[in-house]
Structure formats: structure tokens, C-alpha cells
């Protein structure tokens, strides 16, 4: 059985954009494929400590997994939750792959360039974390790794490292993940979707945006989120239609309305066609978002921490089993045993 692998970032709370654009599509993908694939959902806590963590890492990771369940993930025996730091093979394989990756290729990583730019001191983890990511993937022969565009380059690096090792030993030691174009096809939903900043709808909503009114956090009080929608920037055309170029604010509201209610965008556009009162649309979207958040937050409150730890412990038994087996073969090839 093949493996789909995804890491969940636990450094901070997701925005409505992260939720609708990344989390929900991943949950759908997992539910859709969990009978014919292993679904590895891991917490890359070793990656987390490369940069600042908002709050407490342990609390965040429990909450992040609850978010997956509240978003509708229905785990079966093929869905595995685990913490990267509880599977030591990740760190060990990373070291081995460090001897395969070159300084040149790591220096070319855009993420590294962006994250180190202008800084006088940069921790070495920022430079080498793509190698850890390669280990995360290759230990499980994971062919599908749904990631955002910003990670495509790292996925290509993973493929290159896998093929380099395979060539060196003339065996199929590693299964390289499929090419990014094929990953995108497999993932279909969510790729092009960008929820916009509520105040500056020309930009996408981002959690790092300073202005609180620009973004809705999944932990926002539902009332507060509704107010943010009510104060969203629109335009003066007095026409409710989907036109991201000329009316990004209104288009964004239509988009949110569709996604939050699980309706097709086309249906929502038709419902509002010919309408002119932006206040009415805002009120409807505000109420939809409020209801969604109430429901989501209630679900989270009902999941005990113990449930998450049970999933993690089960998943870690599975992950250690698979990862150690792969690591043993790799160590043998490298003459380490």
C-alpha cells in the first residue's frame, strides 16, 4: 500500500485561509484515500524549533491534531499520527543524507535565501532542514506529499537525493516522491485557492500580517470573526459578482461563503447575481463564518487530550516500525552495519 504523507505546522494557530486552503483539502484527501493508502500525518516538531514557537509546543501540537479531527478527519487503521521527535530514525537518516546533499544545492533553496536574508546570524537548521524533510519522506516511501508551492523545491531536492543514493548503490533503496506536477494533479483541490486579506484584498490572508482585522484566526471568538467580515474592504461598484481582478473584496466574500457552507462557488455567485447591497452579503457571510467557527470550536472542546495521545502512541509504534526497517537497509548500504 502506498503512502501519502503530510506534516502539520504547529508553530502557530491557523487562519481561516490556512484552514480553507490547506487543512480542509488535506482532510478531504485523507478521508478519500484512507482505505487504499497509508495516511501519515506527522508533527514536525524538530522543524518547529528552528524558529520561534507561539505559545507552548506541546499544547500546540495537541491542538493541531484536534483541529484535524474537528475539520472532519475520520481516522481508521491506515491513518497514522506521530511526532517526528519520537521517531529517532528521522534524525539519523538526516545525518546520512547530509553526506549526500551538497552545500551548493542547499544554498540554492529559495526558502533558505528568504529566511536568512539580511540576518547577521542564522541557525544551521534553517540551512539543513530540507535534508530532514527528505528523511521525513524517504523513510516511508511516501510518494505523495501534498505541499504548497513554497515546498516544491524541497520535494525536488528529496527526489534528487533519493535518486543519487539509488544510483550510488545501484538499487532501489528509496522510492522518490512523484514529480511536483503529478503531486499537484493528485491534490486537485485547494492549490490555486487563496483567501484574501480582509482589509487589503489584493493580498492573500496571512497569519504573519500584523493587522488583526485583516485575518480571521480559527481561535477567534465567533462574534469577533463576524465583525471582521462586516468591516471587510469592498469597492464602490455596487455589483455583487465574482471578479477577483476588479472586485477582490466582494469576490473573496463570495469565495468564503461557498467554502464555509460547502457550496460550489458557482451556486453562490448565482444566488447573489443581480444583487447590489454589500451589507446584505456581508451579513450573510458573517453569519456563515460565525456558525462555522462555533461548530468547529465546540468540536475541538469535546475532544479530550487523552484521545490525541492515544492516537500518537499508536502512530509512533507504526512509524518506528516502518522507519527503522528502512534505516537498517540504508545503514547497511552505507557500510554502517
Catalytic residue among 59, 66, 207, 284: 207
Whether 115 is catalytic is yes
Q: Which is nearer to ligand ATP, 47 or 326 (CB)?
A: 47
Q: Which residue is nearest to ligand ATP (CB)?
A: 21
Q: What are the Cα distances from residue 303, in Å, to 114, 124, 298?
A: 38, 37, 9
Reduced to 3 states, what is the DSSP secondary structure of residue 256? helix
Catalytic residue status for 207: yes
For the CB of residue 197, give the shortest distance to ligand ATP in the complex, in Å. Answer: 8
Rounded to whole angstroms, the Cα distance separating 224 from 293 reads: 11
Report d(CA 91, CA 97) in Å as an integer.
10
Measured between alpha carbons, how far is residue 33 from residues 27, 137, 148 in Å? 10, 18, 19
Nearer to ligand ATP, 48 or 84 (CB): 48
Which residues touch 196 (CB under 8 Å, ≥6 apart)? 202, 203, 204, 205, 248, 249, 251, 252
Q: How far is CA 277 from the centre of its chain?
A: 36
If the CB atoms of residues 173 and 205 are measured against ligand ATP, the closer one turns out to be: 205
Q: What is the DSSP letter of 85?
A: G
**Shortest spacing between CB 194 and ligand ATP, in angstroms:** 4
Give 195 or 240: the residue with its C-beta nearer to ligand ATP. 195
Smallest distance, ligand ATP to C-beta of residue 208, A: 3
CB of 246 to ligand ATP, least distance (A): 20
Contact 271, 238 (CB under 8 A): no
Using the minimum distance from each CB to ligand ATP, give the nearer residue, 9 or 164: 9
* β-pair partners for 217: 15
Q: Is 59 a catalytic residue?
A: no
Task: Point out which residues bind ligand ATP (CB under 6 A).
Answer: 9, 15, 17-18, 21-22, 148, 193-195, 204-208
Q: How far is the CB of 171 from ligand ATP (least distance, A)?
A: 34
Place of cell 502557530: 12
For residue 294, the SS3 value is helix
Q: Which of 2, 59, 113, 115 is catalytic?
A: 115
Catalytic annotation, residues: 115, 204, 207
Amino acid at each position: 500500500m502506498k503512502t501519502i504523507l503530510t506534516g502539520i505546522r504547529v508553530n502557530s494557530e491557523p487562519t481561516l485561509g490556512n484552514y480553507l486552503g490547506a487543512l480542509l483539502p488535506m482532510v478531504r484527501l485523507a478521508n478519500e484515500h484512507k482505505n487504499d493508502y497509508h495516511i501519515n500525518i506527522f508533527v514536525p516538531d524538530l522543524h518547529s524549533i528552528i524558529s520561534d514557537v507561539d505559545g507552548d509546543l506541546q499544547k500546540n501540537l495537541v491542538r493541531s491534531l484536534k483541529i484535524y479531527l474537528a475539520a472532519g478527519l475520520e481516522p481508521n487503521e491506515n491513518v497514522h499520527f506521530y511526532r517526528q521527535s519520537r521517531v529517532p530514525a528521522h534524525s539519523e537518516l538526516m545525518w546520512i543524507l547530509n553526506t549526500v546533499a551538497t552545500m551548493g544545492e542547499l544554498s540554492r533553496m529559495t526558502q533558505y535565501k528568504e529566511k536568512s536574508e539580511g540576518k547577521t546570524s542564522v541557525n544551521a537548521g534553517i540551512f539543513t532542514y530540507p535534508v530532514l524533510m527528505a528523511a521525513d519522506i524517504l523513510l516511508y516511501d511516501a510518494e505523495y506529499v501534498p505541499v504548497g508551492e513554497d515546498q516544491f523545491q524541497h520535494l525536488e531536492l528529496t527526489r534528487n537525493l533519493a535518486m543519487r543514493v539509488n544510483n550510488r548503490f545501484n538499487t532501489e533503496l528509496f522510492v522518490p516522491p512523484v514529480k511536483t506536477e503529478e503531486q499537484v494533479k493528485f491534490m486537485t483541490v485547494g492549490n490555486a485557492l487563496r483567501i484574501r486579506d480582509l482589509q487589503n484584498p489584493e493580498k492573500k490572508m496571512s497569519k504573519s500580517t500584523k493587522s488583526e482585522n485583516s485575518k480571521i484566526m480559527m481561535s477567534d471568538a465567533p462574534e469577533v470573526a463576524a465583525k471582521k467580515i462586516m468591516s471587510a474592504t469592498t469597492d464602490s461598484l455596487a455589483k455583487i459578482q465574482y471578479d477577483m481582478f476588479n472586485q477582490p473584496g466582494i469576490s473573496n466574500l463570495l469565495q468564503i461563503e461557498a467554502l464555509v457552507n460547502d457550496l460550489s462557488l458557482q451556486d453562490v455567485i448565482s444566488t447573489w447575481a443581480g444583487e447590489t447591497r454589500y451589507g446584505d452579503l456581508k451579513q450573510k457571510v458573517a453569519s456563515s463564518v460565525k456558525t462555522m467557527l462555533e461548530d468547529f470550536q465546540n468540536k475541538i472542546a469535546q475532544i479530550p487530550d487523552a484521545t490525541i495521545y492515544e492516537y500518537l502512541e499508536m502512530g509512533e509504534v507504526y512509524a518506528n516500525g516502518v522507519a527503522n526497517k528502512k534505516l537498517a537497509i540504508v545503514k547497511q548500504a552505507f557500510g554502517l552495519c
